[in-house]
Structure 1
Amino acid sequence: MKLLLFFLALIALCSCDGIPLGPTPPIPDSVSNIEVLQVYDLPNPEEVLVDPTGTFFLTGGNDGYVYKVNILTGNKLELLTPRDFNPEYFEEWNDADIREYCNGDDLAKEPECGRVLGIKFSYFHAFRRSIYIANAYFGVYHYRFRGYGQRLTTIVPKTGSFINDILPYGPYVFYTDSHTHKQRNQVPYVVMDLDAPAGSLNVYNWMTGETTILADDFYFANGMALSSDGRYIYVSETNAARIRKFNIVTMTMEEDYLASDLPVLTDNIHLIEEPCTFFSCNNEGTLLVPGYWRQEGLDNILRDSAAMAEFLSTSPAVHLPIFSSWIVPYGAILELDEATGEIQRTIFDNTGKFMLAASAHKLDDDEYIVGSVFVPYAIRFRLLD
């Protein structure tokens, strides 16, 4: 799911002996040949969710709003505002005052304004389209585009943690919690929290109304995607640079991984499914895995607890610029074979122009839409390679 300080937290959240990182991968020799088709003015967008018709996409900004953006024209609509998620706090505020206060300029405001990190579609039938939303500060929600009555419904109210991504499936709503007892804006304090792993995978059951922790051993639980055959949930474990598998049939984590020791610190993930029938889906899709290219300085810190402690003991004025050089602007999108977990293609950028990092969605004709929490826009581009 994100900000620069957030990635500092990733370092401290790890028990170095438990992170299965191999040798630091070499940085690609050249950037990918990319033609930028459109730039969408958005406040540091998180997960980019494209409508199945390819008409619009949804995303959450660092201002606490949820935007619906027309892919062709770039016109954007404020679908949800901070008042929708925190009505008691903003009850007597007018729209202009909320907009002025929730402008993404200060992490200290996020507990009031909120931050939507995960959005997924759900189709109950042809005339009632809805989405599920993960708000880092307020919990899990269901939103109906059409119909009468209340459109936004709280499913799992949850504060004091770091809700990241969401995945509805049948009677279940799965969601990740990146840190079970720290909020997203508390990353300066999380930096010194060495009790790792501290992320979890959770599920809400519509039929029973119960919420269950399915696994609590993640080194930063992040984005999720459903497998082509509907048997597994792929979970991005950011700081371990791997994609883990949860078996929906047995409701247990698999011991093996879809992919491990990847060259990037993984973020949101998205599955491109191959056409198949209900009886013949064999996990033959492609998984888009955006992330930040691992570099030697970062890997050395992750492997050496003494070096990590020494690094974090310096003032933010010293270590933030160093850490920034390890992350920005080395962004990449990996395309993984779902059946084998092998890397099929790498889309790489070290110019800082495209910031292929937080989320990605593939359209037709080798076009992509990407969002990055480091820049105030999303981009639609065509890969020319």
Structure 2
Amino acid sequence: MKPLFAYSVSFFLVIIFIAPTLTLSVTIDHHLENYNQMELPSAVGPESIAFDCDGKGPYVGVSDGRILKWHGTHLGWKEFAIVSANRDRELCDGSTKLENEPKCGRPLGLKFNPATCDLYIADAYFGLLMVEPHGGVAKQLATSAEGVPFRFTNALDIDTKTGVVYFTDSSIVFQRRVWLLVILSGDKTGRLMKYDPRTKEVSVLLNGLAFPNGVALSKDNSYLVLAESGKFRILRFWLRGSKNKSYSSEVFAQLRRSPDNIKRTRKGEFWVGLNSGREIINNLGRHIINLQNENLSLRLIKDPVATKFDKDGKVVDVLDGNGGNAFDSVSEVEEFNGKLWIGSSVKPYLGIVKL
């Protein structure tokens, strides 16, 4: 088997020559003078961000299987929840090793249900979980759908009226610790699913997806948008509407970078994290970046690391990374309380940009 870095090189060369370009209708750059970082204790990778029913937080899931809560400048980050009662603290606490993830857990998608204030968690290894408002050990809700086990539970959102949870399983073949193989193998076994808390049943809404990732419901819950990372696009999946629309899908937006998590704003727009992998591209050398510029007209001064779309799929805002190290890997952008809270699957901090 090739070493992982060899796969990384091949993957990003593919991106360089085949990734489609993104046509911007509006570009609003958020510059680094408005940027700050909240360092994490020991662990890394605040993949997803959540605020509770009282607006407190942020809460983040990190590499060692814990959910951390921010308690303010004086107290800092404190443990809020863990994903399994069998988690070995000696092995797991502070771990950043991929090989420990199946034992420790890797919480990815996070979302509080505003009706119950319970926190729902999509953990890559332990499936769909829920923890009560006071925290503690998460309860496992589902580990399979239609007889097929989850292998890479990834992201979720919650219907505020019904409590139904919509979530993704990025592959039924590969786990998160070998996530790159999902892309390189051309795997299309990913699924979009829903969990009904009343019946406790899981049903599959879409299958045959290429690395389904972030998911977010529209403001009126009539549709959801879904990141299909393997195809550099966002799909719209209709949940309600006219007879010919309900439970059908269409392309919502085509991108030039791989989309990750999606978060809806209060206004009903969608922030999409673009997990660009610029750090690996930069390590390959300037000559590759020059080829990228020549073939895609991608200028580093136009370095989109997150994009906000309106309800019609039009770009209304762009977070410009300016080619800097701070935004090498952006997994999620949560717009809350006048700030952009920026997650990453690999960084040891949470980014903040004041609007």
**Bucket of the pairwise TM-score, normalised by the shorter protein:** 0.7 to 0.9
Which amino acid is the alignment partner of residue 140 of structure 2?
T
CA deviation map 1:84-129 (0-9, x unaligned): 41x34x4xx5x4x24xx443332111110110001111133xxx52
Structure 1 pair 79–200 and aligned structure 2 pair: CA distance change class (3 A): same
- Alignment partners' CA distance in 2, 1:208 and 1:60: 27
CA deviation string 1:56-75 (max 9, x = no partner): 11111111111111366571
**Partner secondary structure for residue 228 of structure 1:** coil
Q: Aligned with 2:157: secondary structure?
A: strand
> How much does 1:50 deviate?
2.6
Percent of aligned positions that are identical: 22
Q: Distance in 2 between matches of 1:243 and 1:252?
A: 18
Q: Please, which of 158, 165, 174 is the counterpart of residue 168 of structure 1?
A: 158
What CA distance in whole angstroms lies between the structure 1 residues aligned with 2:28 and 2:129? 42
- Helix, strand or coil: the match of 2:248? strand
Contact 2:188 2:211 (8 Å CA) reproduced: yes
Per-residue deviation, 1:173: 2.0
Matched, 1:269 2:262: yes
**What does residue 229 of structure 2 align with?**
238
Partner residue, 2:171: 179
- When residues 198 and 174 of structure 1 are mapped into structure 2, their CA distance, relative to the original with a 3 A threshold, is same
Q: Report the AA paired with residue 69 of structure 2.
A: K
Q: Which of 331, 336, 339 matches 1:363?
A: 336
Correspondence for 1:259: 253
Measure the CA separation in 2 of the matches of 1:146 and 1:294. Answer: 36
User: CA, structure 1 residues 61+130, in 2 after alignment: closer, same or farther (shift >3 Å)?
Assistant: same
- Give how far 1:273 is off: 2.3
Q: Which amino acid aligns with 2:20?
A: G
Q: Does 1:45 align with 2:46?
A: yes
Is 1:22 aligned to 2:20, yes or no?
yes
For 1:104, what is the secondary structure of its paired residue?
coil
Q: Report the Cα distance in structure 1 between the residues aligned to 2:231 and 2:185, rounded to whole angstroms.
A: 17
TM-score by length of 2: 0.77
TM-score, normalization by structure 1: 0.71
Which of these residues, 102, 105, 128, is aligned with residue 111 of structure 1?
A: 102
Matches within 5 A, 1:206-245: 206-245=197-236
Distance 2:10 2:169 in 1: 14
Taking a change above 3 Å as real, the CA distance of residues 30 and 293 of structure 1, as seen in their structure-2 partners, is farther
C-alpha contact (below 8 Å) 1:331/1:355 kept by paired residues: no
CA deviations 1:23-65 (Å, max 9, x no partner) are 4779xx9974232244232522111113354431111111111
Paired with 2:317 and 2:226, the residues of 1 have a C-alpha distance of 20
Q: In structure 2, what residue type is equivalent to 1:134?
A: A
Name structure 1 gaps, 5 residues minimum.
Answer: 275-284, 299-319
AA of the residue aligned to 1:168: I
Instruction: Compute the displacement of 1:209 (Å).
Output: 2.9
Shift of 1:289: 1.1
CA deviation after TM superposition for structure 1 residue 152, in Å: 2.9
Q: Partner of 1:130 in structure 2?
A: 118
2:240·2:247 contact (CA, 8 Å) conserved in 1?
no
Aligned residues: 323
The reply to whether residue 155 of structure 1 matches residue 141 of structure 2 is yes
Displacement after TM superposition at 1:198 (Å): 2.2
Counterpart residue type for residue 68 of structure 2:
Y
How far is 1:168 from its partner? 2.6
Partner of 1:142 in structure 2? 130
Does residue 353 of the first structure (1) align with residue 339 of the second (2)?
no
